[in-house]
A = this chain, B = another copy of it.
Amino acid sequence: MSEKGRTISSEPTVRDLGEFALIDRINAGRTQAPAVRLGPGDDAAVLSAARGQYVVSTDMLIEDRHFRLDWSDPEQIGRKAIAQNAADIYAMGAEPVGYVIGLGLPGDTPVDFVTRLADGFWAEAARAGGSVAGGDIVRSAHLMISVTAFGDPLGDRPVTRSGARAGGTVAIAGRPGWSAAGFELLVRTHGVLHRYEDSVATAVVAAAAAHRAPKPAYDLVRAAMATDNPPEALTDISDGLLADLGHLAAASGVAVSVDSTRLRDPELELCAAELEADVRQWILTGGEDHVFAGVWEPGVTPPSGWTPIGGIEPGEGVTVDGAPYRGSGGWEAFSGTDSAKSDHSR
């Protein structure tokens, strides 16, 4: 962690303990998932591929860019790191079976911080499926976390972004905009949330929690894949709802039409009113909730828990209520123009 997050105390640091003892410490008492045939300790891990193929996703999280140590505790950071990778696996119609994690740590990081971070990894892995099968720990100036997740397809094959056809129904699992709302709340309140009125307090706390550690609706993907009519296209919303629907539209060679009335969220509107913020911006461009978006073929109703928000049409691009959306499109790693994402370094 960077200077401001450093703890000046006598508690043991990772430099005191050393790499190998640290690895032993954070792996102590963990139970590997069944698909992990060989876990940490050798040159590499060994995983089984029940269906002869596997799905792989990787994401990197950097201190002050993707999380802040003054906003999130180590468990929340660990949960978030696993959640965003597990969401990518589910977004392929697959379930996670294992993770490997690269950790960059300053030498003065307390050992307790690292074990709590690992507790967060394992807690979210318990929700999502799979276990931490290996990793690498190096010294670095700032805290950084690189997670790679592996998954087994839940159906006969993975579900990509490119299977959507005209006439299909677009539905989402999860509530978009909450992480963006939480980010804006945390920016404005400097992480101190308890001054809010009772009427909005529950929503405020929920928004902050959604930002600190999103809870993707893994079970709804699992349920959708178990039906006779699984989605023909699937993605997770990591760059923003409209941005990711745009990626799906481009990959499938179709247009996506969104009905914004299906996206209304009264609780989130309470938060927005309190902050005088644009709830529509949060919902349409906020990404870090890792909401899932699926497309069902014409005539098929998305399963329970999925909210239909629009349809697939011939053409290209994304429209909202019939018009191309004019606002910011979402997250882009090197841009500095979108306001609703946790680019903490701006």
Contacts and interface: CB of A to CB of B under 8 A. Distances in A.
A313 B88 CA distance: 48
A60 B150 contact: no
A88 B44 contact: yes
Given A100-B58, A104-B60, A334-B18, A53 B43 contact: no
A88 B135 CA distance: 12
Contacts of A89: 43-44
Contact of A62 (B43, B138, B335): B138
Nearest to A147: B102
A98 interface: yes
Contacts of A160: 38, 42-43
A108 B65 CA distance: 16
A57 B45 contact: yes
A224 interface: no
A20 B331 CA distance: 11
Contacts of A122: none
A45 B56 contact: yes
A91 B138 contact: no
A66 interface: yes
Contact of A60 (B19, B102, B151): B102
A236 B138 CA distance: 18
Contact of A94 (B44, B57, B333, B335): B44
Interface in A289-330: none
A342 interface: no
A137 B56 contact: no
Given A18-B334, A58-B101, A146-B58, A53 B42 contact: no
Interface SS, A side: strand
A207 interface: no
B139 A65 contact: yes
Contacts of A148: 56, 58, 100, 102, 148
A107 interface: yes
A335 B58 contact: no
Contacts of A151: 44
A144 interface: yes
B138 A107 contact: no
4 A-B pairs with least C-beta separation: A49-B49, A146-B146, A44-B57, A60-B102
Given A43-B160, A107-B334, 20 more contacts: A20-B332, A38-B160, A42-B92, A42-B160, A43-B88, A43-B92, A44-B91, A44-B158, A46-B158, A47-B56, A56-B150, A58-B136, A60-B102, A60-B136, A60-B146, A62-B138, A65-B139, A65-B140, A102-B146, A102-B148
Interface of A: 14-15, 17-20, 22, 37-38, 41-50, 52-62, 65-66, 88-89, 91-92, 94, 98, 100-104, 107, 133-142, 144, 146, 148-151, 158, 160-162, 234-236, 251, 332-335, 345
30 contacts: A14-B334, A18-B333, A18-B335, A19-B333, A20-B332, A38-B158, A38-B160, A42-B160, A42-B161, A43-B92, A43-B161, A44-B55, A44-B57, A44-B91, A46-B53, A46-B56, A46-B92, A49-B49, A49-B52, A50-B52, A56-B98, A56-B100, A56-B133, A56-B148, A58-B135, A60-B136, A62-B139, A65-B138, A102-B102, A107-B334
